[in-house]
Amino acid sequence: MKIKCIAIDDEPLALKQINSYIEKTPFLEVVALCHNAFDAMKFLANNEVDLMFVDINMPDLNGMDFVKSLTQKPQIIFTTAYSQYAIEGFQVDALDYILKPISYASFLKSANKANTWFELNQKQSESVQTTQDSLFVKSEYKMVRIFLSEIKYIESSNEYIQIHLVNDEPVTTLIRLKVMEEQLPKDKFMRVHRSFIVNLDRIKVIERNRIVFDHNVYIPVGDQYKESFQAFVDRTFIV
């Protein structure tokens, strides 16, 4: 199965180069070439994409702000001539960051990183079994059944996650937070931070842009998740 890619760059020659690199890489497939973020938005609204190669320095809406605006986004590899964006790029969970001018060697290194991520993601997805009201996860060499209604929040710790429960000890499992997010019903669970997913039915107190659990657990709402979380608050709470 090939990784479906789009490339976004306002420079025609740069876009042509990325396209040629994707075409010569066996596990990648180019599905769209976009000259700006607005064209990419339109394409994403109606098409499935796994990976985006995004230039940062573009007019009107730059690549970084474009990525931050997406509530459901593919994996990201930034392409840019400006090294000062590297830290910010990883803060939005980008897989990698390639500096221009881009050689095929540097492109392939990033593409291989993406391929490894997708292979691991697929294996982890297969390790989670879901039903209408529960999920089974592997923890300490055994499969544990967890009822969705009993989950308070899920916390990421590197390659592991901790599933915090209402009346039991947390369950630790070797799964990325992104994988777990994809398995949970979106009308009941929401990613509110790069490290946290919360059960919306368990939210009782919100204080200073933080979700409060048990009076002593404060979960921050990350900048890129504020809009979708505020929409939930507006629907649910009387303010």
* CATH number of the domain enclosing 83: 3.40.50.2300
Answer with the residue of higher pLDDT: 165 or 86.
Answer: 165
Same domain, 107 and 164: no
For residue 145, is pLDDT > 80? yes
Domain, as residue range, for 201: 129-236
Average pLDDT on 28-56 reads 93
Asked if 213 and 153 count as a contact pair (C-beta separation under 8 A), the reply is yes
Average pLDDT on 114-135 reads 81
Asked if 36 and 10 count as a contact pair (C-beta separation under 8 A), the reply is yes
pTM to 2 decimals?
0.65
| 215 band by pLDDT with thresholds 50, 70 and 90 | confident
Same domain, 10 and 27: yes
Same domain, 107 and 87: yes
For residue 198, is pLDDT > 70? yes
pLDDT of residue 239: 62
Of 110, 125, 140, which marks where a domain is finished?
125
Average pLDDT on 160-167 reads 91
Average pLDDT on 124-137 reads 79
Same domain, 139 and 208: yes
Of 125, 156, 185, which marks where a domain is finished?
125
| 89 band by pLDDT with thresholds 50, 70 and 90 | low
DSSP lists the bridge partners of residue 151 as 165
Same domain, 48 and 97: yes
Q: Domain count of the chain?
A: 2
